[in-house]
Structure 1
Amino acid sequence: MTRLFHVSDLHFGRADEAALDWFAGLVRAEKPDAVVCTGDLTMRARSAEYAAASAWLKALDVPVTIEPGNHDLPMYNLLARFTRPYGRFERVEKAIEREMDLPGVWVVPLKTTRRFQWRNWKHGAVSRSQLDGALARLKAKPAGHVALIACHHPLVARKASGSDQTAGGIAALPVLAAAGATAVLSGHTHDPFDLPWETPGGTIRLVGAGTLSERVRASPPSFNELIVEDGALSVRVRTLE
């Protein structure tokens, strides 16, 4: 059995300190095999926010993989956004494990953030090159492993159409399913969900994590506990009451 904690939207700068302490305490007590963080480490991509997020993630003392969120790109420093949008994120990423091969589990990153697009910059997109990179990693999946795609934006928005839809997300799902992906892990919505999505390539699960920040929506602070055993994935939402 392999157990992962899937957490998202920490938003250092607007983090909920009680929620962070609760999560870190559970990691210390229960020692999951790894933590998957699907983006928005920070609120405004400031150096101090990244430093706090990095120190907190390293102190968990378990393997961690992270994906960037839209809040992790500079919003007000346009020069940095267009020339080195992931500069501060990459400094944190170098100190954290990224590629993740665990017993029975293969975690594949898929970047969905964009430095620029002709709509609200907070929305996600899946480019052909990013999808090809994920497919190449899926091909390297060891036999018998459950493959989990980790990205920030849900590949299908809560509404099937609209301006907040992740560009290229729906089209990517049958390709990922046919390539052997079991589920797509994401954040961004600040509310947890676990939905099957039927595609011509097979069924793929869409699993979203909540938030550990003050910016809660319909749900209190939470994270997902993922258990992979005998090739099957189970998901449990754990909520700060």
Structure 2
Amino acid sequence: MIRLFHVSDLHFGAEDRTALDWFARIVADEKPDAILMTGDLTQRARASEFAEAAEWLESLDRPTTVEVGNHDLPVYNPIQRLFLPYRRYKTLEQMIERPLEVRGVTIAPLRTTARFQFRLDWSKGFVTPQRLAHTVRLVESAPTDDLVFVTAHHPLIEAGTRTEARTHGGEGALRSLAKAGAHAVLTGHVHDPFDVAHEVEGRTVRLIGAGTLSERVRETRPSFNEIRVDGRSFETVARVMDGPDRRV
């Protein structure tokens, strides 16, 4: 069995240190095949926050891919946001949007953040044609027998959670990814776990969201998802700190 730990929204700067230590202990004890981190490493995209996040992720010592979240773009420096939005990610660049292949599972990243949008709330999701085309190529090039999981920060469509993603281009992106052969889209942003089957392009695509390991909890205590893959089937188990594990 392949075991993937899907974690999101660490929000260094507003992190829950107890939750981070709890997760790190589980990683050390159980050694998952990979860690999929779907964005919002930091709270305010400060250099010190990125440095702490990088040190923590490297200490886990597992194959890891990291998505960019809306909190990882500079908020108070508009020049840097527009022209050098990802400069502070340099300490993490080997993990950022890193495609992974793990014994029959291909992980394909999709960036859903944007440095500028024609709406007031720039925290919401945005899929550009260029980014989508890149991810579609990764999905299409996956080995025929692989399960293909796409990792992004924002849910492409709403999943009934308290927090909304309102991702521009999300529905079209989901159709394109389904047509290309994706089996699931793994996301964060909403801080609550979910696993919803969605019928699109004649196929079933699972929409899977992870909770948070920060102080910014919503309906669920700090948690992460364990995705258990057995051949061509997989299940999502939400592992909740100080609570029972539950299938979602």
1:37 aligns with 2:31: no
Alpha-carbon separation, structure 2, partners of 1:146 and 1:122: 30
Task: Give the match's secondary structure for 1:94.
Answer: coil
List per-residue Cα deviations over 1:153-196 (Å, max 9, x = no partner): 00012469xx8510111111122112110000000000000001
1:211 aligns with 2:212: yes
Alpha-carbon separation, structure 2, partners of 1:192 and 1:118: 29
Percent identity over the alignment?
A: 50
List per-residue Cα deviations over 1:13-51 (Å, max 9, x = no partner): 000000000000000000001100000000000000000
Q: Where does 1:109-128 land on structure 2 (aligned, <5 Å)?
A: 109-119=109-119, 120-128=121-129
Q: How many residues align?
A: 239
2:246 counterpart residue number? none
2:27 counterpart residue number? 27
Higher deviation after alignment, 164-173 or 86-95: 86-95
1:16 counterpart residue number? 16
Alpha-carbon separation, structure 1, partners of 2:72 and 2:234: 29
Quick check: 2:7–2:212 contact (8 Å CA) kept in 1?
A: yes
1:192 counterpart residue number? 193
Task: Give the match's secondary structure for 1:172.
Answer: helix
Q: Which amino acid aligns with 1:219?
A: T
Alpha-carbon separation, structure 1, partners of 2:128 and 2:191: 24
Q: Which amino acid aligns with 2:214?
A: S
User: 1:93, CA displacement in angstroms?
Assistant: 2.4
Alpha-carbon separation, structure 1, partners of 2:60 and 2:165: 33
Alpha-carbon separation, structure 1, partners of 2:156 and 2:214: 22
Q: Where does 1:114-153 land on structure 2 (aligned, <5 Å)?
A: 114-119=114-119, 120-153=121-154
Quick check: 1:16–1:213 contact (8 Å CA) kept in 2?
A: yes
Alpha-carbon separation, structure 1, partners of 2:159 and 2:152: 16
1:107 aligns with 2:117: no
Quick check: 2:193–2:209 contact (8 Å CA) kept in 1?
A: yes
RMSD (Å), alpha carbons: 1.5
1:91 counterpart residue number? 91
Distance 1:95 1:176, change over 3 A: closer
User: 1:95, CA displacement in angstroms?
Assistant: 5.8
List per-residue Cα deviations over 1:87-134 (Å, max 9, x = no partner): 112431236782211101000000000101022110001111111101
Quick check: 1:175–1:201 contact (8 Å CA) kept in 2?
A: no
2:74 counterpart residue number? 74
Quick check: 1:12–1:53 contact (8 Å CA) kept in 2?
A: yes
Distance 1:164 1:208, change over 3 A: closer
Which structure 2 residue ranges, 5 or more long, are not aligned? 243-248
1:4 counterpart residue number? 4
Alpha-carbon separation, structure 2, partners of 1:74 and 1:96: 17
TM-score normalised according to structure 1 size = 0.95
Alpha-carbon separation, structure 1, partners of 2:22 and 2:207: 25
Quick check: 1:73–1:86 contact (8 Å CA) kept in 2?
A: yes
2:48 counterpart residue number? 48
List per-residue Cα deviations over 1:50-79 (Å, max 9, x = no partner): 000000000001111000000000000111
Q: Which amino acid aligns with 1:214?
A: E
Q: Which amino acid aligns with 1:73?
A: L
Quick check: 2:196–2:207 contact (8 Å CA) kept in 1?
A: yes
User: 1:208, CA displacement in angstroms?
Assistant: 0.2
Quick check: 2:139–2:181 contact (8 Å CA) kept in 1?
A: yes
